[in-house]
Structure 1
């Protein structure tokens, strides 16, 4: 599978590294300027002037760290025209455009669009490209081996696209079983997690997801509660199941 990543400054670089290191997916990328105007009157013209590789848009899955409400919908349009199956938009709705605008794009091109505040909420959705990617990357799923009340080994079945889950798996070894869940959440945040600070979601949700993954791996009775702002917004084209 071919994964296309739109980077902007440092954002998207860790995703590319993680995909290359932790999967056999082909990954290609294009770079947007780190500094963009707050308002872009003609996004189509602006993106045209960047002279981006046209082959990029035919990727099976495109993940865009454009982080701009004018540019992101234009990225989705070009992805749809290029034949991609799905577009994943990290960074939250405030930098993605609007749901009605993205819904029109999804309907026009028959694609799936998902807006994630944090990258570690991604799960299967019934779209082949997303499901294939989410077998390896997304909401953390781990297996844990415990010896003498301590974490002896951690296997990552599915990890956060930024790579934080593998960091947690390495650093948590040797911790007491009862300390492991909160420590897993803290280690994720210390990775460092680049999710937004403040409020109930963002970096706090990332920590909670890793804490929950550890609790489940240890067979504990647990429940995951995610703030509304951190829940994925899933937008399906009208012809998708």
Structure 2
């Protein structure tokens, strides 16, 4: 099913994921991209703060990436006007969690629009929603297949089965070709370091999202050993 995708984005995370998806195998399904720079929205009349230049193309899936917390009230309006049937709204930074998240979620559900808030986006695996699943087949929790030389335990080939939405998996995969997996702890440490150099997710003692994403990547590489 070739579901049409509309992307609302803002900031470094939004730009990173949008740029990667726009160059991916899903590029021909993207019907619209819009940098939603709105910083605040009227609680009484959110529609009055809708940008005049926003193109509202019909879509099946709305991706919401890195928009500012107070802009969240525009999402149900945009989702309804574009005919979106599902929304993926990842949490990569606790400072960007939408204000009134549960009210927004209720409003979307009331309009028959499924919404998910994966934290982070690379935890997305499978969903009860078919439209979300058609995206998650291509992007989400990383998955690899690795071919290893049985004699010297050198990684000879890495195939990315499912990329991370930001492209970190496909960037790091080729870099571990030629590395040894005899000492898995050493390999995992190298992968985590490479990941941290690429990832723009939040990292703090209260919510170590970057570390969580790095662990997912390292575990996926370990699971991909054949």
Same fold per superposition (TM over 0.5): yes
Q: What is aligned with 1:139?
A: 141
- Residues 60, 129 of structure 1: 8 Å contact kept: yes
Q: Pick the aligned partner of 1:198 from 196, 204, 209.
A: 204
Q: Which residue of 2 aligns with 1:74?
A: 74
Query: Structure 2: how far apart are the matches of 1:31 and 1:127?
Result: 26
User: How far, CA to CA, are the matches of 1:71 and 1:115 in structure 2?
Assistant: 16
2:102 is matched with which residue? 100
Would the aligned equivalents of 1:89 and 1:96 in 2 still touch at CA under 8 Å?
no
Question: 2:101 matched to 1:118?
Answer: no
Partner of 1:181: 188
Q: Closer, same or farther in 2 for the Cα pair 1:67/1:17, shift >3 Å?
A: closer
- Which residue in 2 is equivalent to 1:228? none
The Cα shift of 1:11 comes to: 3.6
Please report the TM-score for the alignment, with normalisation by the length of structure 1.
0.79
Provide the residue aligned with 2:14 in structure 1. 12
Of 127, 150, 153 in structure 2, the residue corresponding to residue 149 of structure 1 is 153
| Structure 1 counterpart of 2:88 | 88
Alpha-carbon contact 2:8-2:62 (below 8 Å) kept: yes
CA RMSD of aligned residues (A): 2.2
Which SS does the other structure have where 2:117 is aligned? strand
- Alignment match, 2:29: 26
Q: 1:81 to 1:21 in 2, by over 3 A?
A: closer
Deviation at 1:23, TM superposition (A): 1.1
Deviation string, structure 1 residues 14-42 (Cα, Å, up to 9, x no partner): 22332233314422201222x725x7544
**Which ranges in structure 2 are unaligned for 5 or more consecutive residues?**
none
User: Which residue of structure 2 aligns with residue 65 of structure 1?
Assistant: 65
- For the residue of structure 1 that corresponds to 2:89, the secondary structure is strand
Contact 1:81/1:109 (CA < 8 Å) preserved in 2?
no
By how many angstroms is 1:81 displaced?
4.0
Q: Cα–Cα, structure 1 residues 20 and 54, in superposed 2: closer, same or farther, change >3 Å?
A: closer
Counterpart-to-counterpart distance in 2, 1:40 and 1:184: 44
Per-residue CA deviation, residues 78-107 of structure 1 (Å, 9 max, x unaligned), is 203432121111235652233431332232
Secondary structure at the residue paired with 1:186? Answer: helix
Helix, strand or coil for the counterpart of 1:54?
Answer: coil
- Using the size of structure 2 for normalisation, the TM-score is 0.84
User: Quick check: 1:164 aligned with 2:168?
Assistant: yes
